[in-house]
Amino acid sequence: MNHTIEISATIVLFNEDLKTLQATVDCFLQIPESKKLFLIDNSPENNHEKYFQNSEIEYFFLGSNLGFGKAHNIVLNKIKTLSRFHLILNPDVIFEPKVITNLIKELESDSTVSMISPQVFYPNGDLQYTCRKAPTFLGLLYRKLGVFKSKIFENEYRNQDISKPFYPEFIYGSFMLFNTIDFLNTDGFDTRYFLYMEDADICREQYDKGKRILYHPKVNIVHVHRRESSRNLKLFYFHLISAMKYFKKWGF
């Protein structure tokens, strides 16, 4: 199938800091590949669209919060014949243009890999452990209570050398570069989740379809990663509901 461009991307917005968002958008627009960026705005008011008037950007103001996965899925029909690769991108991520180029080369070199993600750092330079074993009820409980640290570290693959590429069970959804066809083959994200667990779910879907996901630490990005669900009761509630839906679908 012939595609119009090399890569498309979606960023879902909800009352984002404009300066941070502009930095992320600028990173994507600087990549050398032919591209299209879809900004999906779940915010109650349209405060940002006027700042993103660009032929390589398409802006969707929804006026209500559809949730993470459902908002990303808005572009499914658009990207079917548009792009070879599709990037799920958070609005607070910074990266060099070569990151995309290098990750595309890795994806092209192995047809068994459907999605790839780079090494991720906090703004202060600390490493984010974005790779995880598939969620379990006990694993989430240990993390919430802050107990059995050795088990938590094992679930983050800290007991192995993560400076080398490997195939984790799932990778956080702040930066997920898919072969577009593989993203479409799962109908995008499972929209039963409003917020949280969509990344774990879609990674499991990829393995269920005989594909693999690759952690590629030879390139890196910076992600703010505010960890809001641990501090906000409403977001913690969403996390809990999503976990229940995940375990109902995949088992404990």
| Domains of the chain, CATH where assigned | 5-250 (3.90.550.10)
The chain-wide mean pLDDT, for the chain, equals 94
pLDDT of residue 145: 79
| Chain segment 219-232, per-residue pLDDT in tens | 999 999 765 555 57
The beta strands (E) that lie in the chain are given as 5-13, 35-41, 57-61, 83-89, 93-94, 113-121, 127-128, 131-132, 170-171, 175-179, 212-223
If you average pLDDT over residues 110-138, what whole number do you get?
95
pLDDT of residue 1: 61
pLDDT of residue 147: 83
- In which band, very low, low, confident or very high, does the pLDDT at 141 lie, cut at 50, 70 and 90? confident
pLDDT of residue 239: 86
pLDDT of residue 98: 96
pLDDT of residue 227: 58
